[in-house]
Each structure stands twice: as structure tokens, then as C-alpha cells.
Structure 1
């Protein structure tokens, strides 16, 4: 009989796997196998390697005794996902009822996002977000996939009248507050501008001189003048320094957010109050009066003011003459100037006195007709 025929197959098949080893040897081999596997902890984010991709799932090896499955839909933000790629995943369960390792890339992104947001607050990092939409009192900005609130007062150093212009645009922000109780994040864009403005402000103040011509932006308007942002420093352009002519309110010739050229007229020792001028950038209208203008000349203009003692006729912006009430009628009985003229009337008058050096002239309208007392 051959050796093959002497072999007892029945005895071999009745023995279980590993029965050729002692209990101690089997335990030692199991421990060696366990040592080849990584240790993972539930509810933590770890890196894994893609080992397979199908229509529904992405198979990921995290060094555990079994691979984990992640729905392919959780990778829609990536252009492609291929075998060998390294991705971060969140350990939901080491083993579910079917003994499967449950992973989530979506939750890993959320955990990573909050970690990055907390780091941004702690280390004062600047992060880029996308303005998704406007909301009551401000904007909603997407940072790392988390919706953060950007208050309207924190968008810019100047008041914002139209929030919609920012929607759909990228914006750099800083995290200023995190409320973990309701997962609320507050960010600011204004703090970044303020930091840049501090540098500009210091440079402007150090170089500020009377007569210096600057460019600024109108940020506020009042009935007595406008406040102009010179780049982190505000100056006042008084209504009387806007134009050589008379204006009742700055909005007649200027508008909010308009860029203007102005000249520094004066400032205090601390450079906290800066007076600005605009009309000073152009020659005074009196200097451009026609040389033919003299006493007895007939002129045309518009009534710009009526007082108890007379009315002011504007010949050109910044050039006015006084028509005294006594020069309005040949009558010996003085009446109210309002009986003869009103603001806005365009009339003709005669030059009675003229002093170009003092920039003064007096006018009359009764001189346009013959003196009845001469007859």
C-alpha cells in the first residue's frame, strides 16, 4: 500500500482549523494579528486610503480589521475620487449590527471645519468665505461649509446701504465670536479694513500740511457741511467752502460716496479737527470779471437772498451785488424789498458802486427808469 493510501482523511477532516497548534500558540498568533491592525476610536476624524470605488460607495481602508463604506454622494464636492486617494473620515461605529465599520466624510468635514474656525479665533487668522445671502441685520457667509453671521455693522467702516451687492462674492473675514451652545459663528470684515486704515491714518496725519490737496469720499452730509473720509481720517468741508456761490444744502452740488478733490485749510494741534475746502481749488469769480464792468454798467443776474434792507443779486456764482431798498423805487416812501423782488427772480440792474479789491458792489433797479422827479 502506498503512503497516499495509508493517509486517514477522516481523521484530518474532523479536526478544526488551528487544532495542530496549542492554545498558547493560537493566542500568540491572534495577538500578533491584532498588532498588525491600527487602533481607532469612535467619534474621531482619521485619514484613510481609498481602496475601491463603485456606483454607490467608496471603500476606505483606515488600518482597521475591516474596510469602511462611505456613500459616494459625500464626495460630490470633488471633481473625482480614485483608488489610492487619501481622505479624512469620521468614525461613527467600529462595528454595526452587521459587523461593518461605519464611516462618514460629511461629518469629518464638519468636525474639521469647526476645528479650523476655532483655530482662526484663537490665532487671529484671516479666512476667506463666500457670501451666500443677506439676512435680517447682515449677511450669511459660508466658511469651511459652516454658515457664519456677518453683521451689517461689521461689513465696512462706512455705513452700507445695499447689502445685496455682496451676495455671491468672496470676502475675507475674521472670526470674532463662537457660540457653541447653538453652533453660531460671528465674523467681521470691518476689523481687516480698520487695521489697514490705521496705517493709512498714521501716514496721512504725519504728512498733513495746510494747502495740501487730497482726495476723499463723502461719508455724511448735514445742513452745515459734509464729512469727508480721507482714508481713515475724517475732515469737515463747511457749506461755505463748497462753492463760491450760495447753496442752501450740500446735496444741491454733492452726493454721498462721491470722490472729491479738497484742500486742507486748517487743523488743530492734535489733528483731530481738520477743515477742508473745495472752492479754494478754483480761482475766485471776482478775479475773472470782465474788465469792461464799471459804474453805470447794466448787468443781469438772479436774486439769491431778500432781507429787510434789500436784496442780493448774483451775477455769477460767487459774485453778488446789494440792491438796497432805497434803490428799488423812485418813491420817497420806503417799502419792503419783498414788494419788488423775490428769490429766484432774474432781473437787470445798474452798477452804482464797484470795488474789485474789496469784492463789493452796489446795484440799483430804479435807475433803469427815468427819475420822475426831474420832470
Structure 2
């Protein structure tokens, strides 16, 4: 082989190696700093964790990122984790779950701002308009509106905590840093919502935790997404205040009534998981029976009386005056009064009970009994009188004969 042939072969080998090197790195170059990936933990070493990130190849991250506050690993080999691409460092694809600052804190924060990589910060104290947060060696600011998904009812609960943040603003070479924890929570919520789209269906009964109470209902966390129990679906009885039935932190089973993923609204029912009291109303409250109840509310046309949980009947205004005309039920009753009533009518289909005052009904019954007794006695006396007169007439006729 002469020198010219050797030069050609070496030149070809160099070109092939360059092509192979470029090809081997082509996948990694598709990742830009800040790219989010799902990686499988291949091996956990003394200082490094090796990740399989699918077609993009393999990457590494520092082991200490996956330790909890007590120094215990939070993952195991085979687990899948979410990470962000930092860049190619010493021919390795380097990933992180968060940036924590350090000697190059400002440079890292600026990179995190440009790339959208989360940063870990310590909430130092509450200040005007928000919180002072320490990120590495830098002082940053998180507005109240960016610390949680909803308005912070108790800001003090965040002080002293380590949280993940997005760098929303980075200026003046690190002297003006604005953070958002809310963006992290919103991203987590979106991911959970996407996963739940495959599993949550209307009509299902699911478990959740009551997270917030409002005048119009209760919000329930369904493993990452919130649903609302309207006040009308809290129970079979009429509920004035949700707090009378539910408390924050309660574990509840609810039925999914309606899902609107576009608006992010899920309507729930606690009532549908409870036994329907009207299913046995005819047996419990037969027509003509007497019961004691509590005046639940007054309306212009009458008074609603609660006889049992979920069972209300109506005392019409025409039956409240004991024969006299009244202008309003409040003339004779007030909410909370205990009254004895008679079941005048049962309409199970319409879920209605018609009531009458027991006192009036009993008086009417006694009067009816007295009239019936008088009529019976009159008839008996009449028959007896007729019998006596007939006997006398018969005796007279016999004498004449």
C-alpha cells in the first residue's frame, strides 16, 4: 500500500468517525436546556443516577437530588421520574429535577429563567405583597397570588418550607428575581387531569378529600383535580350551611354527575351515595297517621315540617289558623317549633307530603265521632219508641176483639 492509498483510507476513517459521532449525538442535540423528559432509573450509584430517556439515549443526574430531608432515596431502580435537561457536560447528558443554586447561583437562575427549569427555594418570611424566598445565595420574591392555586387563606403556613418554583422574572443581574410556585402546581394539575381523563367517567362513585367550603358547596380533591358538590347535592335534607354537614379534610365517597374537561369543572353528588329516604315513605308515614316534626322553614303559602332526615311535609296556610284566616304562617309558627301533625296525603312520585295540625284533626275526628254516636243513638231511640207504640196498639186491638 503506497502513501496515497493510506492517506485516503485514514481520511475516510476520520470522516466515518465524525459522522458516527454526530449521529450518536444527534438525539441529544434535539434536547434543549429546559426540555422536560420522563426517564427510567437504570442504576443508582454512590454519587450519580443513570437514566434511560428512551430514544434520546441515557443521561445522568446527581444522586443527592433524589434524597429526602432525612437522606433517604425517594426512588428505586426501575422507577420513572420527571427531569429537565441541563446540557451536555463532559460528553454526558446532564439532567436535574430542580436547580438549587450554589456557587454559580445567579448563572443557574438565569438559565432556569430562560429554560423553564424549576428551582428549589426556601420561604424565609412573609413581606408586603408576598414572600421573601432564598434560592441558593440569592434573595427572590414570590407574590401571594403565585404561592398556591387559590388565594392563600393562611400565608404563615408557607413560611419555613422548601418549595419548587419557576423563575417568572430575572433582571438586574439577579437583583430582581420573581418566582412562582403556582406554575409548578398548575403543571402538576394538568398532568394529573390528563391522566384522570382516561379513568374518570360520569356515574362513577369515587373517593376524595374535602379541601374547601363555600356558601354554594364543597370542593373535593379527586387525586389531583377538584370537583364541586353543590349545596343541593350535599344531602337529602335541605342544607342551610355546608359546614353543618362537611368539614375540610373529610374523606367522602361521591358520585360524578357531570364532567366538563374544557372548562375544568366536575360536578359531584354526596346525596346520591346515601339511601333515598323517600323509598320507604309510604310505610313510615302512611296517610292518616300522626307524627311529631320540626318547622324547618316558613313560606307565604305554608310551613315546611321535617319529619325525618330528608322527609319534609307541607302545612298549608289554610290549615294553620284553626278555622280562622291568617296572613302568614309566622302568625302562629316560627322556625324550630315542634309540632304534631297528621299525614293528610302522600305523593311519592312528586316527593310531597300534605300535613294538617294534629290538634285540629283530632278535634274534627272527635266531633265526627260525637255526631255519629248521636245519630246512632237517635236511630236506636226511634226504633225503640216505634216498638213501644206498636205494642200498645196491638194490645188495644186485642181488647176490642
Q: TM range, normalised to the smaller chain?
A: 0.5 to 0.7
Write out per-residue CA displacement over residues 277-304 of structure 1, whole angstroms, 9 at most, x where no aligned residue.
Answer: 1111101122355835322221111111
- Residue 31 of structure 1 is matched in structure 2 by none
- Residue 127 of structure 2 is matched in structure 1 by 135
1:149 is the counterpart of 2:141: yes
Name the TM-score, length of structure 2 as normaliser. Answer: 0.58
Q: What is the DSSP-based 3-state SS (H/G/I as helix, E as strand, rest coil) of the residue aligned with 2:267?
A: strand
1:198 is the counterpart of 2:190: yes
Q: How does 1:29-40 map to 2 (within 5 A)?
A: none
| Cα distance change on mapping 1:111 and 1:158 into 2, 3 Å | same
- Runs of 5+ unmatched residues, structure 2: 1-100, 371-401
- Residue 177 of structure 1 is matched in structure 2 by 169
Aligned-partner Cα distance in 2 for 1:309–1:110: 74
- Runs of 5+ unmatched residues, structure 1: 1-108
Write out per-residue CA displacement over residues 222-241 of structure 1, whole angstroms, 9 at most, x where no aligned residue.
Answer: 54434545456444422211
Q: Which residue of 355, 370, 374 maps to 2:363?
A: 370
Q: How does 1:209-248 map to 2 (within 5 A)?
A: 209-216=201-208, 221-230=213-222, 233-248=225-240
Q: Say how many residue pairs are matched.
A: 267
Q: Which residue of 313, 316, 320 maps to 1:324?
A: 316
Give the deviation of 1:368 after TM superposition.
Answer: 4.9
Q: What is the DSSP-based 3-state SS (H/G/I as helix, E as strand, rest coil) of the residue aligned with 1:363?
A: strand
- Residue 254 of structure 2 is matched in structure 1 by 262
1:280 is the counterpart of 2:272: yes
Aligned-partner Cα distance in 2 for 1:113–1:314: 66
Give the deviation of 1:326 after TM superposition.
Answer: 2.5
Give the deviation of 1:364 after TM superposition.
Answer: 0.7
Give the deviation of 1:358 after TM superposition.
Answer: 4.4
- Residue 29 of structure 2 is matched in structure 1 by none
Q: What is the DSSP-based 3-state SS (H/G/I as helix, E as strand, rest coil) of the residue aligned with 1:280?
A: helix
| Cα distance change on mapping 1:173 and 1:223 into 2, 3 Å | closer
Asked if structure 1 preserves the Cα contact closer than 8 Å seen for 2:255 and 2:269, the reply is: yes
Aligned-partner Cα distance in 2 for 1:273–1:119: 36
Aligned-partner Cα distance in 2 for 1:284–1:110: 62
- Residue 361 of structure 1 is matched in structure 2 by 353
Asked if structure 1 preserves the Cα contact closer than 8 Å seen for 2:106 and 2:174, the reply is: no
User: Which protein shows a greater Rg?
Assistant: 1
Give the deviation of 1:208 after TM superposition.
Answer: 2.9
Q: How does 1:344-359 map to 2 (within 5 A)?
A: 344-356=336-348, 358-359=350-351
- Residue 341 of structure 1 is matched in structure 2 by 333
Give the deviation of 1:359 after TM superposition.
Answer: 3.1
Write out per-residue CA displacement over residues 249-280 of structure 1, whole angstroms, 9 at most, x where no aligned residue.
Answer: 43433355655432111245857543221111
Q: CA RMSD in A?
A: 3.0
1:158 is the counterpart of 2:160: no
Give the deviation of 1:216 after TM superposition.
Answer: 4.3
Aligned-partner Cα distance in 2 for 1:280–1:117: 51
